[in-house]
Structure 1
Amino acid sequence: MNSRNFEDIKPVVAILTMPNSIRGFRGNHANFMDIVRTGKEMGFPVYVVTLRDLKLTSPTVKGYTLNANNDDWETQQFPLPQVIYNRIPMREDEEKPWVQNKIKSYLAHPSIHFYNPYFFNKWDLFEWLKVSKSTDYLVPMTKRLVGEVSLSRIIDKHPYLYLKPESGKAGKGIMMLKFQKSKTLPYRLKIQNNRSSITYKSASMRRLWIRLKKETGSSPYIVQQGIQLATVDDRPFDLRIMVQKTSTGQWGVTGVGARMAGLKSITTHVPRGGTIESPTKLISTLFGSDMATMIISQIKTTALIIARQIERASHFNLGEMSMDLGIDHLGKVWFFEANARPMKFDESHIRKKSLERIFEYSQYLTRHNKHH
């Protein structure tokens, strides 16, 4: 068989998620439909499978695919996948012992490629980036929230802080803390609710700490230096970058989007009032169009360096991630967050390319031995 034919062979790709007694499987069904449609158009055998149904010992698997009209799900028996694309929806799912065991068995399988096995933990991400000279300078000061005394010390150095849950998602649980010496109630804690936020003011560290404990409960939190982001019309913005591995197995930038904070929001998340903007337009407004071209190209390079460092430090085979980078008023780039299970991008050109790359990288994986 010549190599040309071999290259035309498309691997069987399974999208992995959790079972659901009513709908068959959990997760973002519309997203899964897009992935399956794209795979079919590109000629890949592709199906959605739940952890319960994906047994590596049986020759066939019960999976979900789109019907002939491409508008609804139907179940079929499929061959075992050669590539598993992990879309387990929630951290709580991933932490269950039976799920952990299944993931380990997929990772250990001699010929099945399983990529993006785990969610990232915020603390780990910052630790991974701090150990390399190539990424250390991008990370704002980050510490664990451990106690009143250490928080007091941090505030002395950094009077503007963010508090984030280690295992947070989509901006949930993020708080902003400012210490304004000249005010009678110098401690200001801004707590974000769905669309608005409330500000708790206190005169003493003691009172602030009691309120903080009430908000954080038993969740581990990190404390991070606040960065004065560049603003347009008094609204801060950050950049959302999608990086994925390509058909050559190398990291590539799929697209760069910009998110502008809602007027009352402390983050730029769209469900919390943020808006989608053009990164080139925003950066040109601030720094002029020549500088904007340079800054955007620097952001793309930086995103690739970060992706390579995260993969190296995590010791897992990763295939995609999205990340949030910010630019401060001087044009310096900062790293805030990376997601191992990226949400879908609303920008249609980024979306299309991101769907195709899932399959291009799957093809690359099956052309190379698993322990290559």
Structure 2
Amino acid sequence: MGQPVLGILTLYLNDNGLLEEKQVYQKMTAAGRRIGLEVFVFTPQDVNYKQNRIFAHIFDASKKTWTRKWRSFPHMIYDRCRIQRGHRFEQLGKFRKQYGHLTFLNRVLRNKWTVYRTMRKEEPYRPHLPLTRLYEGQSDLSEMIKKYPLIYLKPINGTGGRGILRIEKQKGGTYLIQGRDQSRRIISPQRVPLAGLHGRLAGWNLKGNRYLVQQGIQLKLPNGRVHDYRMLVQKNGSGAWEVTGCAGRIGASGSITSNLHGGGQAITMSKLLRQWIASEDTVLKVTAKAEELGVQIAAFLEESYGRLCELALDLAIDRKGQIWLLEVNPKPAREVFLQAGERDTYRHAITRPLEYAMWLYEQKKRRKEKSAVPSATNPGT
């Protein structure tokens, strides 16, 4: 089969050919070369469907330059495409449909609502899932508001904290609305009475934009900033799930989310958890439980939706040490570990998908060699 080749599938961010995560792909190319794996980058726009060839982006690690070359299809495809609106995402759908028979490191994970319902069916995960409803009308919001003093409204396919709203009941019966618009800009906090809540939210088109209503977990630190934890679970070079790392995230002042792109900051999990929970024994138990839960969730979702190679789990931990799964991200960034000062974890986060790709390639090679061996009872085959 020759030298194994991995194609990283991504999307241009605009019509000028801007690639997201280019520096990460440079690191992956260099790391791949060290273990005998060739890596190139491409988008659905770079595919010649008639000739089954790809006009690939190739990084030369020694010269630190990018070039374009026509290449055959790679042995494996690592899908890093994040949701977009418009023609580029439509082209991705066409590519996945036509080449879905190829070897992908990771298949498409479903939207937040489908993942929630799938996990909700399994008793071990229920205690870790904030109650969530699909917004189909005002009654869904009204019933959740009556049940919980804090709720979140989230787009069913949103990423990076875009379009999220936080609604918290205040003394006197009013409700505080905070959040970010679709461009991640923080919107001015607003206090409204219950009777005016639905009217104030009308401009968000919650039903048309497909929103979820989720039970909120109180996560404000003494300084008023929210926090959570980003756990990265990846397949290793033996094809097994493993927790690569978990880092804390603290949101920007006035932000309802902890996303780094929204101005948040990263900190080690141990440091943040010890600020939040006084008991050292509880901290150690929670850390171990979170890692165990992370591996179980990754394995379960892979069993439910097809092959995966990595997942980021956004976790909340309340004052009692209860672990809550806020969100699952199948196309995770890695910078949180770099910003938290965990360089070894960041390096592993870069290399593990490559090591898994090599393992997958070897498995495929062995199966091919085995099928090519003539049968002892049928020497002529």
1:164 corresponds to which residue? 154
| TM-score calculated relative to the size of structure 2 | 0.85
Q: Pick from 38, 44, 61: which aligns with 1:51?
A: 44
- The question of 1:305 aligning with 2:296 is answered yes
Task: Tell me whether 1:191 sits opposite 2:179 in the alignment.
Answer: yes
**Cα RMSD for the two superposed structures:** 2.6
Number of the residue aligned with 1:365: 360
Cα offset, 1:96, TM superposition: 4.3
The counterpart of 2:350, out of the listed 355, 361, 371, is 355
What 5-or-longer segments of structure 2 have no aligned partner?
338-342, 368-381
Alpha-carbon offset, residue 90 of structure 1: 3.0
Superposition map of 1:32-71 within 5 A: 32-55=25-48, 58=51, 61-67=54-60, 69-71=62-64
Q: CA deviation at 1:20?
A: 7.6
State which of 70, 76, 87 in structure 2 corresponds to 1:77. Answer: 70
Change (3 A) 1:368 1:29: same
Aligned pairs for 1:229-248 (under 5 A) are 229=219, 231=221, 233-248=223-238
Work out whether residues 165 and 180 of structure 2, in 8 Å CA contact, stay in contact via their aligned partners in 1: yes
The CA distance in 1 between the partners of 2:282 and 2:139, in whole Å, is: 43
CA distance in 1, matches of 2:3, 2:221: 46
User: Structure 1 pair 297/94, CA: closer, same or farther in 2 (3 Å)?
Assistant: farther
Q: Distance in 1 between matches of 2:23 and 2:15?
A: 16
Give the 3-state SS of the residue equivalent to 1:256 in structure 2. strand
CA deviation vs aligned residue, 1:81-123 (integer Å, no higher than 9, x gap): 1110112243336984442231022222xxx311333254111
- 1:142-161 superposed matches below 5 A: 142-161=132-151
Q: Deviations over 1:238-265 (max 9, x none)?
A: 1100111111212111111110122311
**Which stretch of the first structure deviates more once superposed, 191-200 or 52-61?**
52-61
Deviations 1:255-293 (A, max 9, x none): 111101223111111232321111111222323434322
Q: Deviations over 1:199-249 (max 9, x none)?
A: 2222233x2112212024631100001111273555432110011111121
Counterpart pick for 1:113 among 103, 125, 142: 103
Q: Distance in 2 between matches of 1:215 and 1:19?
A: 28
Find the residue that maps to 1:299 and give its secondary structure. Answer: helix
Partner in structure 2 of residue 92 of structure 1: 85
Query: Structure 1 stretch 85-94 or stretch 20-29: which is displaced more?
Result: 20-29
CA 36–22 in structure 1, closer or farther in 2 if over 3 Å, else same: farther
The CA distance in 1 between the partners of 2:70 and 2:361, in whole Å, is 21
Paired with 1:160 and 1:302, the residues of 2 have a C-alpha distance of 25
The 1-side partners of 2:327 and 2:58 are apart by 33
Q: Please, which moves more after superposition, 223-232 or 89-98?
A: 89-98
* Residues 65, 179 of structure 1: alpha-carbon distance in 2 compared, 3 angstrom cutoff: same
1:70-91 Cα deviation digits (max 9, x unpaired): 4221122334211101122433
Instruction: Pick which of 161-170 and 210-219 moved more.
Output: 210-219
**1:271 is matched with which residue: 256, 261, 272?**
261
Distance, in Å, in 1 between the alignment partners of 2:228 and 2:324 is 10
Q: Which residue of the partner structure matches residue 199 of structure 2? A: 210
Structure-1 separation of matches of 2:319 and 2:144 = 23
Following superposition, the deviation at residue 22 of structure 1 comes to 6.9
Tell me which moved more, 58-67 or 278-287.
58-67
Aligned counterpart, 1:3: none
For structure 1, which runs of at least 5 residues remain unmatched after alignment? 1-5
Measured after TM superposition, the shift of residue 345 of structure 1 is: 2.6
Distance 1:198 1:150 in 2: 24
Specify the alignment match of 1:342 in structure 2. Answer: 332
1:104 to 85, 97, 100: 97
Does structure 2 conserve the Cα–Cα contact (< 8 Å) formed by 1:162 and 1:174?
A: yes
How high is the sequence identity, in percent, across the aligned residues?
Answer: 27
Deviation at 1:151, TM superposition (A): 1.8
Partners of 1:93 and 1:99 within 8 A in 2? no
Which SS does the other structure have where 1:325 is aligned? Answer: strand
The normalised TM-score by structure 1 is 0.87
- In structure 1, how many angstroms separate the alpha carbons of the residues matched to 2:22 and 2:304? 32
In structure 2, relative to structure 1, the CA distance for the partners of 1:81 and 1:267 (3 Å cut) is same
CA distance in structure 1 between the partners assigned to 2:301 and 2:88 by the alignment? 21
In structure 1, what is the equivalent of residue 370 of structure 2? none
Q: Describe the SS at the equivalent of 2:286.
A: helix
**Could you say which residue in structure 1 is the equivalent of 2:320?**
330
